[in-house]
Structure 1
Amino acid sequence: MTRTLALVQWTLRPDRDDDAPPLTHRFRCLTLTDDDSECGAVSEPHTDPVDAQAWTFRHLRDHPEHTSYAEVIERPWVMWRGGRA
């Protein structure tokens, strides 16, 4: 069996094509519980960061001691194949 391989340049870039998945925002609660583990509650993903932020206020209303959060942003990326290296 014989195989011929060529070096090819690849470029990684954010996927902004019309059919790309949307950039999404969510928040997760970082507050430590009595056993020193994170609360772990997580919002639904939202394309509008303000909608994701609103979840933190609802979570705080239900858990007044939960005051620490992290934003999780999911940004789609794509690899583009270029010419030979």
Structure 2
Amino acid sequence: MTRSVFRYITWTMAPHVTADAPEMLHELECSSCLASSDTEADFNEARAWAFSHTGSHPSHRTYREIVTRNWRMIPAEGEYL
């Protein structure tokens, strides 16, 4: 039988914002017909799609934003692995 030692530490969770973190992604979806923009790192590109979509479909005026944001777990202050 193998013996193991477990150590309990306190963790915190925070958005992943280091230099190597993946970009946050945005997508807008029309609430009327469920058409959606491409998934974009730049929110303004998704926003431009929504303006164009409303221009083509004047009754489609509400959208939901779908955001992909990366998070990471960090040992709490003073905790070490």
Q: Is the shorter-chain TM-score for this pair beyond 0.5, marking a shared fold?
A: yes
Q: How does 1:57-72 map to 2 (within 5 A)?
A: 57-72=51-66
Q: What TM-score results when the alignment is normalised by the length of structure 2?
A: 0.77
* 1:49 aligns with one of 31, 43, 68: 43
Question: Which residue in the other structure is 1:17 paired with?
Answer: 18
Gaps of 5+ in 2: none
Comparing both structures, which one devotes a greater share of its residues to strand? 1
Aligned residues: 77
Gaps of 5+ in 1: 32-38
Query: How far apart are residue 22 of structure 1 and its match?
Result: 0.3
Query: How far apart are residue 54 of structure 1 and its match?
Result: 0.5
Query: How far apart are residue 61 of structure 1 and its match?
Result: 2.5
